[in-house]
Structure 1
Amino acid sequence: MTLLFSTWGSRLRLWFGLPTSPGRRNPPVVAERPLAASARGARTTTTVARAARSTREEVDVERLQRGIAELYDQSSGVWEDIWGDHMHHGFYDSNAVVSLSDHRSAQIRMIEEALRFASLPAEDQLKTPRTIVDVGCGIGGSSRYLARKYGAQCQGITLSPVQVQMAQALAAEQGLADKVSFQVADALNQPFSDGQFDLVWSMESGEHMPDKMKFVIGSSGSAGARTTILTWCHRDRTPSEESLSSEEKELLNKISDAFYLLDLCSSADYVDLLRSLSLEDIKAADWSEYVAPFWPAVIKTALTWKGLTSLLRSGWKTIKGALVMPLMIEGYKKDLIKFSIITCRKPEIAQQDGKQ
């Protein structure tokens, strides 16, 4: 399968006038490069250096966000046509052999398992969320599902204008226009008032975030709100490791470049971050074994006639993402890439009488 996909990828590069063995480009990381000093040395001052570095970081983040938006503008229609309106992994039984028809139910099962892990059973009315923000909402699959399940008001945000249009159209088609709404917005600078939501939901968007701290604290969760993050991570480092190996970094760089990932971290890094913010009821788990059939299935659909023709129409960013899908499988097999769930709860605000 990998050989067939590699051959197809080479042909695609030829069709698009690209070299058959392109050199790897570095992912869009924020690099702190030294400033060139002027003849007088004036530009070497700390103030100017910091200002220049800040400007570079802003430009890099803007470039990253533009790339993410364009990637999903191009690919969302292809995805919805083949896989439906849930743009995320499915949750499978370990070592399951599944057919294509099983994958959409597995995606629903992923949502249900995540809610169960976050202690949000539908039968417990005291824990039922009424207001939800879907951070990195895609074409709104989770938003509509959660709104329907809980009777909640749900607002989704994404960087992709095309996804917003598709999400709104699907909501209207499914009779949920009064329950869900979508807008183009930056997850690191959300357009909501503080404390507006009692469930913060993020299904496979955290891996795109260049600042995990701002991602976590900018969620506008109310007192006692639950945050649930399902995201791609790299493996946890051992106590003796200062960093991943050079070979592991090389593989992650190739994947990050195609999928616009920045500052990919481990599940343990997320837990440490949440603890530093004094959040409560922090839980994390590695669900990699439960998503194992996903990427082979995506490759299989990409190699169908419908998949191939859809990819060719979608644009180079989507094709580039398709070409690195075998590397995702390699990353999972090497236990380098992990599919993680991390949940926490915002502390309750003490009442005037001292009770919680």
Structure 2
Amino acid sequence: MRKRGVRSVLDVATGTGFHSVRLLEAGFETVSADGSADMLAMAFENGMKHGDHILRVVQADWRWLNRDVHGEYDAIVCLGNSFTHLFSERDRRKALAEFYAMLKHDGILILDQRNYDAMLDRGYSSKHTFYYCGEDVSVEPEFLDEGLCRMRYNFHDNSVYHLNMFPLRKDYTRRLMSEVGFQRVETYGDFQHTYKDEQPDFFVHVAEKEYRMEDAEDAYSSVVSTARSYYNSPDADTFYSAVWGGEDIHIGLYEGDKEPIADASRRTVARMAGKLGLTEESVVLDLGSGFGGSARYLAENHGCRVLALNLSEVENQRARELNAQRGLTDKIEVTDGSFESIPYPDDSVDVIWSQDAFLHSGNRLRVLEEVARVLKKGGQLIFTDPMAADGCPEEVLQPILDRIHLDDMGSPDFYGRNLKRLGFTPVEGDGFEEHRDQLVNHYGRVLEETERQEGEGLGQRVSSDYLTSMKKGLGHWVDGGRAKHLTWGIFHYRR
């Protein structure tokens, strides 16, 4: 909050006053609200007892917060898993809308919740690292399903208490925040930006109200944000660097059944680069640049300048280190960002390049519009993407969509039709060089390599849950390709 310049804070779940007292001690102007008069009386006493703080307390119902509490605030905090006490979606939406209305134009909402996803999907566990510290209380669910979490609290004096809560799933909470108007929602796992979903005890959501006229679209969409969290995770970083091909983490063009993944992946890069006629004067924008293998190939073999835009800060750091080792820092500019809002001027690059990245967007039309904006007149667009085959029944792809947290996929018809509408023309033929069999080859080879490296100790560096999920997902890709529900290939267009 200090970093964001926050001064005034509304603590809407004051309880016995712990957070309000700590906020006052930290120098924030704090108003304390709660639905329970008894809680507020205890909070007031605790304020006096711990530092002679006179709490400004207000009894209020979240659903009518603006009626009971006055003024606007730089920040609202709703902590202690309190939001899960609302059992009606209508009440949850109304409460979030009230929070939104009481924030200043650039205010933030900080709201935490238990990791109910892990509890519902894998059973209850707790590291007790940040929450419920000490030995005087034990906590466990007595009943749990998608509609109710009944927690049992056992205290050292043998007293027992129960609390009923609604088990909010993380993405559901994020979606509600976005739908009531918050412009950007960042989610932390036990206060860490990078985490594996099954590990944190608690999630902390930080929702921004501010609408930035100049750069409002810098905020990651929920789909892109999900991909960003995934590729930032230690499991994904280790897996892709060890198994997928090292520098290149995209589908390869194979010439043999047992060909190394890295060799086939590099052949895709060479095949694409050979179509472009690059010179030392060319400026290439690589969208979804990953570990930067393609950018280094282009800079070393064609002398061109490469702008590498990628959403994963973890991958980008690895790319920068590899660039420096090869003496390419001056040739390659690595930027953290999303291709749904490309941070470069209109008509500024000669070539836009992307490999197997557009599927991670929830708004691929927006991506193509951004490509058309940034690419110079006469410039070239070349990209690959795993896609649904034209005419594929949507329901057959659900296992794959669930795995990569998407609602749908692109298709050759989608890309061809929309690129034509945006003023692009095919460079050769219909602009699409199809290689459906290579999708099957690649995911099959990655599955084989995963199983081989598992036997050599990969499981000691990557979690078993991740590897189990990955192998299942790879199998779905292979099955979808063999059934001709999926396809892949190289698109090449000119603006």
TM-score (norm. length: structure 1):
0.72
| Structure-to-structure mapping, 1:256-271, within 5 angstroms | 256-271=401-416
Is the Cα–Cα contact under 8 Å of residues 129 and 199 in structure 1 kept in the other structure? no
Q: Deviations over 1:55-114 (max 9, x none)?
A: 499779643222211221231332223422100111023xx3224xx3322111111222
Distance 1:313 1:215 in 2: 35
User: Structure 1 residues 18, 309: closer, same or farther in 2, change over 3 A?
Assistant: farther
Q: What's the counterpart of residue 98 of structure 1?
A: 258
User: Structure 1 residues 280, 258: closer, same or farther in 2, change over 3 A?
Assistant: same
Q: Tell me, yes or no, if structure 1 residue 203 matches structure 2 residue 355.
A: yes
Among candidates 148, 169, 172, match of residue 321 of structure 2: 169
Shift of 1:305: 4.3
Among candidates 418, 423, 443, match of residue 295 of structure 1: 443
Q: What's the counterpart of residue 227 of structure 1?
A: 381
Distance 1:164 1:263 in 2: 27
Distance 1:286 1:54 in 2: 42
Distance 1:251 1:324 in 2: 14
| Structure-to-structure mapping, 1:1-356, within 5 angstroms | 17=122, 55=181, 62-74=221-233, 75-82=236-243, 83-93=245-255, 96-99=256-259, 102-116=260-274, 119-121=275-277, 130-219=282-371, 220-237=374-391, 244-245=392-393, 249-281=394-426, 283-306=431-454, 309-310=457-458, 313-315=461-463, 316=465, 319-346=468-495
Shift of 1:269: 1.2
User: Structure 1 residues 268, 297: closer, same or farther in 2, change over 3 A?
Assistant: same
Is the Cα–Cα contact under 8 Å of residues 143 and 180 in structure 1 kept in the other structure? yes
**How many aligned residue pairs are there?**
288
Larger % of helix: which? 1
Letter of the 2:444 partner, please give it: P
Distance 2:178 2:239 in 1: 40
Distance 1:267 1:205 in 2: 15
Is the Cα–Cα contact under 8 Å of residues 224 and 361 in structure 2 kept in the other structure? no
Is the Cα–Cα contact under 8 Å of residues 254 and 264 in structure 2 kept in the other structure? yes
Distance 1:130 1:141 in 2: 18
User: Structure 1 residues 307, 208: closer, same or farther in 2, change over 3 A?
Assistant: farther
User: Structure 1 residues 59, 321: closer, same or farther in 2, change over 3 A?
Assistant: farther
Shift of 1:336: 0.5
Distance 2:337 2:178 in 1: 26
Letter of the 2:285 partner, please give it: V
Q: Deviations over 1:128-178 (max 9, x none)?
A: 761111101111111111111221111111111101100100101111111
User: Structure 1 residues 262, 166: closer, same or farther in 2, change over 3 A?
Assistant: farther
Distance 2:317 2:304 in 1: 21
Q: Secondary structure at the match of 2:444?
A: helix
User: Structure 1 residues 305, 278: closer, same or farther in 2, change over 3 A?
Assistant: closer
Q: Give the unaligned 5+ runs of structure 1.
A: 1-12, 36-50, 238-243, 347-356
Distance 1:54 1:221 in 2: 35
User: Structure 1 residues 320, 97: closer, same or farther in 2, change over 3 A?
Assistant: closer
Deviates more, 1:275-284 or 1:314-323: 314-323
Distance 2:123 2:479 in 1: 24
User: Structure 1 residues 324, 312: closer, same or farther in 2, change over 3 A?
Assistant: farther
Distance 2:221 2:459 in 1: 26
Is the Cα–Cα contact under 8 Å of residues 273 and 298 in structure 2 kept in the other structure? no
Distance 2:281 2:481 in 1: 33
Q: Deviations over 1:314-344 (max 9, x none)?
A: 4555653332111110000000110132221
Q: Deviations over 1:6-31 (max 9, x none)?
A: xxxxxxx9xx9469xxx9xxxx999x
Q: Secondary structure at the match of 1:324?
A: helix
Q: Secondary structure at the match of 2:257?
A: coil
Q: What's the counterpart of residue 26 of structure 2?
A: none
Q: What's the counterpart of residue 7 of structure 1?
A: none
Larger % of strand: which? 2
Deviates more, 1:174-183 or 1:310-319: 310-319
Distance 1:320 1:194 in 2: 41
Distance 1:183 1:266 in 2: 28
TM-score (norm. length: structure 2):
0.53
Distance 1:120 1:307 in 2: 42
Distance 1:152 1:332 in 2: 35
Is the Cα–Cα contact under 8 Å of residues 223 and 361 in structure 2 kept in the other structure? no
Is the Cα–Cα contact under 8 Å of residues 259 and 321 in structure 1 kept in the other structure? no
Shift of 1:313: 3.6
Distance 1:289 1:54 in 2: 44
User: Structure 1 residues 151, 308: closer, same or farther in 2, change over 3 A?
Assistant: same
